[in-house]
Structure 1
Amino acid sequence: MLHKLETLLTWAVLFGILIFIHELGHFLAAKAFKFKVYEFAFGLPFGKKWRYWYDGETEYTVRAVLLGGFVGFAEAEADDETRDRQMADFHAKPIYQRLIVILAGPIASFLLGWIAFVALVGMRGVELPAPHKMMVSEKSAAAEAGIRTGDLLVKIAGESIADFNAMAAKVRGSAGKPLEIEIRRDEKPLTLTVQPREVPEGREKLYRIGVGLQPRTRPAQIQEVLGEANRLTGTFLSALGKLVSTPRELGKNIGGPIAIAGAVSEVVKLDWADRVLALFSLMGQLSLSLYAANLFVPIPVFDGGQVVLLLIEAIRRRQLSKEQQMGVALVGWALVLVLFVSVTFNDILKLLGKG
């Protein structure tokens, strides 16, 4: 029960930070261009709201449906005539100003992701080359063979091991036969024999020894921190791009709130030092995912969809009619609902082992 509560609180704080920073980007850009902002909210613009501050122009609120946030350029509860007048003031602003306000949210998410990686590298330091520290699961094949967490992995079956993938490949290639593993403990060499265990996974025979690898590190200089943060950001966005270009892989890997909660649950199991590093890593990945989804998914209620509508307005030299705007909004929310249900269903299938 304590673990579940800790997971829920950690998930809520993480989700809240992601939403707050994204909407803060929109809000600050809007204020810079003197847009009138009626509401800055946690939650979607439906149901009951609770005001926690009012500065004379903007209400700062929490909404009942806590699945996002928004910056309101019209009063959500106002009558149609009032809302039309307030939105007319918004649309009267130059297109370039509205475009900057829309893009400011994804930009804020991108910066949060990058800053999270900067913090991660700054605390973790620069990785040193192999050998790496071994993280050994309790009652695993490696633990039974006498390997301890903190031992340095040197070789498996006479071959040097550079990273986790190389180790996993050697274990898979063992076909279940005993492996000689050379380690270093307290600067002394030691060779132990480990019997890999078969792990059923579909029709394939997979083998595990219950070991993870943690690279050794040294304190990083500022240029190394920035360079590694840039590399991590680029690598993650590149991986996202490859997923999007292969729909089959995207379907397997896309996750929603349940998948994120599962990841948070694993993070909460770590000790505090590793937990902080893992949370910054997860925050960086989620914030960059929020940046990419909002900017490059052209659903009308997402920022990317709003950019498309602005470009259409610029080409037509006039706005969509009120009826057209309402139709676009309804289609947008319907697509968001379908997307939310799809990723949640996908999460449930994975939990049941069918994804």
Structure 2
Amino acid sequence: MLLHFSPASSTSPPSPSSFTSNYFLHRLSISRPPYLEFPLKPRTHLFKPTSPPVSYSTKTKLLYPSANRADFRSYALSGFDFGSVESVLEAAGVLTAIIVVHETGHFLAAYLQGIRVSKFAVGFGPILAKFNANDVEYSIRAFPLGGFVGFPDNDPDSDIPDDDANLLKNRPILDRVIVISAGVVANIIFAYAIIFTQVLSVGLPVQEPFSGVLVPDVRPFSAASRDGLLPGDVILAINGIQLPETGPRVVSQVVDIIKKNPKRNVFLKVERGKQDFEIGVTPDENVDGTGKIGVQLSPNIKITKLRPNNIFEAFNYAGKEFWGLTYNVLDSLKQTFMNFSQSASKVSGPVAIIAVGAEVARSTVDGLYEFAALLNLNL
């Protein structure tokens, strides 16, 4: 038996405890505060959720014909949007690279200390290719979403004496701690390298806030549609109340006023192109008595790219971004443990992670960089 090391596998944003595409796209999209504000501070894009998170729950009872396995597979995967083959391969490639780096950390920490290693595998399942060097079997397996470093300590086929001083179990505890923690250290270094590459190649996307609330979408036949509100409009004021620059409360401020005024005219000051004018909208009434106008709302921000002027600025930007992401990951872990009963069912495996990565890959290369960095830090 071998010892294996492998990584554990309307307007409100989703919860950080929900490892879903909605959460990641929200986290990775138009979501950095101005540069001078973000070093060593929590991102303003991690708003406190005001509605239940959107997630792919594993608690829903599946109803499927027991004789039709194809129907069941289609049903089971229906919550995941994998998109194109190219985006799936990109996401799978990112996950595989992260796992290889993680296992390489364990392997190098053992090998450089003279600890016996018997196997290094990328993937799991049947062996596709292998070779031996320095008493180590290196192999590539059929399914790349995993990997392991094998130690001969408890291998019944090993001819190494049980009291060999270079077996992992016979080494001092500090040596073993170094081997066990080296995978995490390797992923941390890899995360910084990914961010540094992003800074040098495409720059960091940074949000510039503007006054008002953006209307990305208007539902057909809704109150907003009937009264002349269009996608792309910016609401600058509502009932004479001027809206400030974007922030966590600006969208909910508009939503609250609309909810409190069912069937009563609400006056919106709207910016469309270079023109400002007023529109009167009469919210429809929900079954619970609150008002609704049938629009999607989002903060009014413009995305710019932060690019370094020299290599020293690149290191500076990458370091600040690294610490910002690290803070977010630690904060998410804290929230997960504090709300474990709600969070436990939302932890996702490789299939869900690839689905998230594929959706991010289709959206923007910036998101793919940060997706990779976040995965490294989560390990």
Q: Counting helix residues as a fraction of each chain, which structure ranks higher?
A: 1
Q: Within 5 A, what are the aligned runs for 1:203-282?
A: 209-213=295-299, 214-221=301-308, 222=313, 223-251=316-344, 253-270=346-363, 275-282=364-371
Query: How far apart are the structure 2 equivalents of 1:65 and 1:283?
Result: 20
Aligned AA (1:130): F
Alignment match of 2:108 (pick from 16, 23, 28): 28
Higher relative contact order (CA 8 A, sep 6+): 2
SS at match of 1:216: strand
Name the counterpart of 1:107. Answer: 185
Query: How far apart are the structure 2 equivalents of 1:68 and 1:37?
Result: 18
SS at match of 2:377: helix
Aligned AA (2:306): P
Alignment match of 1:180 (pick from 245, 263, 268): 268
Does the CA contact (< 8 Å) of 1:132 and 1:216 recur in 2? no
Query: How far apart are the structure 2 equivalents of 1:50 and 1:126?
Result: 44
Deviation at 1:261, TM superposition (A): 3.4
Alignment match of 1:147 (pick from 226, 231, 250): 231
SS at match of 1:210: strand
Deviation at 1:41, TM superposition (A): 0.9
Query: How far apart are the structure 1 equivalents of 2:128 and 2:211?
Result: 55
- Do residues 79 (structure 1) and 157 (structure 2) align? yes
Does the CA contact (< 8 Å) of 1:243 and 1:250 recur in 2? yes
SS at match of 1:130: strand
Deviation at 1:60, TM superposition (A): 2.4
SS at match of 2:121: strand
Name the counterpart of 2:56. Answer: none
Mark the CA change 1:197 to 1:125 in structure 2 (over 3 Å): closer, same or farther. farther
Does the CA contact (< 8 Å) of 1:42 and 1:68 recur in 2? yes
Does the CA contact (< 8 Å) of 1:118 and 1:225 recur in 2? yes
Mark the CA change 1:219 to 1:73 in structure 2 (over 3 Å): closer, same or farther. same
Does the CA contact (< 8 Å) of 2:191 and 2:373 recur in 1? yes
| Runs of 5+ unmatched residues, structure 2 | 1-80
Mark the CA change 1:69 to 1:234 in structure 2 (over 3 Å): closer, same or farther. same
Segment drifting more, 254-263 vs 230-239:
254-263
Deviation at 1:74, TM superposition (A): 2.5
Deviation at 1:68, TM superposition (A): 1.8
Deviation at 1:57, TM superposition (A): 3.7
The number of residue pairs the alignment matches comes to: 280
Name the counterpart of 1:309. Answer: none
Mark the CA change 1:99 to 1:53 in structure 2 (over 3 Å): closer, same or farther. same
Name the counterpart of 1:333. Answer: none
Name the counterpart of 1:166. Answer: 249
CA displacement, residues 130-184 of structure 1 (integer Å, 9 cap, x when unaligned): 3489583586778973333xx7665555342444633441353222865625447
Does the CA contact (< 8 Å) of 1:114 and 1:229 recur in 2? yes
SS at match of 2:138: strand
Name the counterpart of 1:13. Answer: 93
Query: How far apart are the structure 2 equivalents of 1:256 and 1:199?
Result: 38
Aligned AA (2:136): T
Mark the CA change 1:289 to 1:147 in structure 2 (over 3 Å): closer, same or farther. same
SS at match of 1:255: coil
Aligned AA (1:232): L
RMSD: 4.2
CA displacement, residues 50-71 of structure 1 (integer Å, 9 cap, x when unaligned): 3355444433212245442111
Aligned AA (2:357): V
Aligned AA (1:97): D
Aligned AA (1:95): I
Mark the CA change 1:180 to 1:64 in structure 2 (over 3 Å): closer, same or farther. same
Does the CA contact (< 8 Å) of 1:41 and 1:60 recur in 2? yes
SS at match of 2:152: coil
Mark the CA change 1:58 to 1:236 in structure 2 (over 3 Å): closer, same or farther. same
Mark the CA change 1:94 to 1:210 in structure 2 (over 3 Å): closer, same or farther. same
Aligned AA (2:115): F
Does the CA contact (< 8 Å) of 1:40 and 1:60 recur in 2? yes
Query: How far apart are the structure 2 equivalents of 1:269 and 1:280?
Result: 12
Aligned AA (1:254): V
Query: How far apart are the structure 2 equivalents of 1:135 and 1:119?
Result: 34
* Sequence identity (%): 24
Aligned AA (1:210): Q
Does the CA contact (< 8 Å) of 2:118 and 2:135 recur in 1? yes
TM-score (norm 1): 0.62
Name the counterpart of 2:376. Answer: 287
Deviation at 1:108, TM superposition (A): 1.6
CA displacement, residues 273-307 of structure 1 (integer Å, 9 cap, x when unaligned): xx2111122222222222xxxxxxxxxxxxxxxxx
Deviation at 1:22, TM superposition (A): 0.8
